[in-house]
Amino acid sequence: MPRPVTLFTGQWADLPFEEMCRLASDWGYDGLEIACWGDHFEVDKALADDSYIESKKQTLAKHNLNVWAISNHLVGQAVCDDPIDGRHKGILPARIWGDGDPEGVRQRAAEEMKDTARAAAKLGVNTVVGFTGSAIWKYVAMFPPVSAAMVDAGYQDFADRWNPIIDVFDEVGVRFAHEVHPSEIAYDYWTTARTLEAIGHRPGFGLNWDPSHMVWQDLDPVAFILDFADRIYHVDCKDTKMRIGNGRDGRLSSHLAWADLHRGWDFISTGRGDVPWEDCFRALNAIGYDGPISIEWEDAGMSRLMGAPEALGIVRKLCEITPPAASFDAAFASE
């Protein structure tokens, strides 16, 4: 069976869930990667009322859609972040923000991630995609000088906060797929390796592969697939367009808004950027990944009503690349 192609609803949470389902179905998607914000999936309601889960399933079935993963990036971000500030207040549910005391926010976010695993199990999915936050992302420039002990403490903080969360994931049979992303504890190749070490390579904690965050850091998304093959638990397709090379536009993007053409790079609709998609899909074939391929629309210069259906067509073609039953040189054999 071909891998299902889903649409991540995070950038569509301003629309009612019913409308989101109608659009995705009309375009031909197989299902949704449902975000835990807007009215798309509310963790507290999912646990408090059995009819809530049933109504979501009925809406999906009405539009011939399935779900293989839910995502709770926004709450996961607050588990380890330091500082906790107005940025978090702007993305967190009021019950998680509370009085804004930073440690209180972190603790409530951690409990919500445990509940997210429980809600996913009730919905019948085995993967939660999300962020972890980081106590040491603020040190990324390494100045003022950052000691090894400070970095070590950041990974220990991550392990201390996330091990109890993953304990609950294990209890309910759900996996966490961390999206490797700047501002997280794992944001590139080596920080991913160290993050997995910090948590003891436990099976409940894996990765959401999204190449858009790798391209602008000069990471090889194909090598990432091959080297972390046993940890690729979910796939998001988002693209990045590079504009570095004119001597003015830098990799750190100068605090410029998305779609400002003076940025050194920008997220762009899948298939229109610099991700080597065919090589990536061949690598996914090579490691035997057979899970959903989720399209994440982020393009500040293109309507999502154009980008989402166009990306679906591109990804469908990539999914058609499958290994042959026998190697081409098998025909050369004399017997």
The pLDDT score that the predictor gives to residue 329 is 77
The pLDDT score that the predictor gives to residue 110 is 99
The pLDDT score that the predictor gives to residue 332 is 81
When pLDDT is averaged across residues 209-214 and rounded to a whole number, the result is 98
Burial of 122 (0-12, 13-18, 19+ CB in 10 A): middle
Where are the domains positioned within the chain?
A: 5-330
Q: What is the mean pLDDT of the chain?
A: 97
The pLDDT score that the predictor gives to residue 330 is 77
> Per mean pLDDT, which range of 163-177, 278-292, 321-335 is the poorest?
321-335
Nearest to 76 by CA among 37, 132, 156, 122: 132
The pLDDT score that the predictor gives to residue 303 is 97
What pLDDT, in 10s, does the model give residues 170-188? 999 999 999 999 999 999 9
Q: Is residue 145 predicted with pLDDT exceeding 80?
A: yes
Q: Is residue 77 predicted with pLDDT exceeding 70?
A: yes
Per the CB < 8 A criterion, the answer to whether 98 and 105 are in contact is yes
Burial of 335 (0-12, 13-18, 19+ CB in 10 A): exposed
Q: Is residue 1 predicted with pLDDT exceeding 70?
A: no
140 falls in which pLDDT band (50, 70, 90)? very high
> In 72-160, at which residue ranges do the beta strands (DSSP E only) sit?
127-130
What pLDDT, in 10s, does the model give residues 222-233? 999 999 999 999
Q: Is residue 234 predicted with pLDDT exceeding 60?
A: yes
Q: Is residue 3 predicted with pLDDT exceeding 90?
A: yes
Contacts of residues 276-282 at CB distance under 8 Å and 24 or more positions apart, as own/partner, are: 276/221, 276/222, 277/237, 277/314, 277/318, 278/318, 278/321, 279/222, 280/211, 280/221, 280/222, 280/225, 281/318, 281/319, 281/321, 282/321
The pLDDT score that the predictor gives to residue 323 is 86
Cα–Cα distance, 5 to 308 (Å, whole number): 12
Share of the chain above pLDDT 90, in %: 95
What is the CATH number that goes with domain 5-330? 3.20.20.150
Q: Is residue 334 predicted with pLDDT exceeding 80?
A: no
3-class secondary-structure state, position 54: helix
Q: Is residue 335 predicted with pLDDT exceeding 80?
A: no
Q: Is the pTM of this model over 0.95?
A: yes
Q: Which residue has the higher pLDDT, 2 or 295?
A: 295
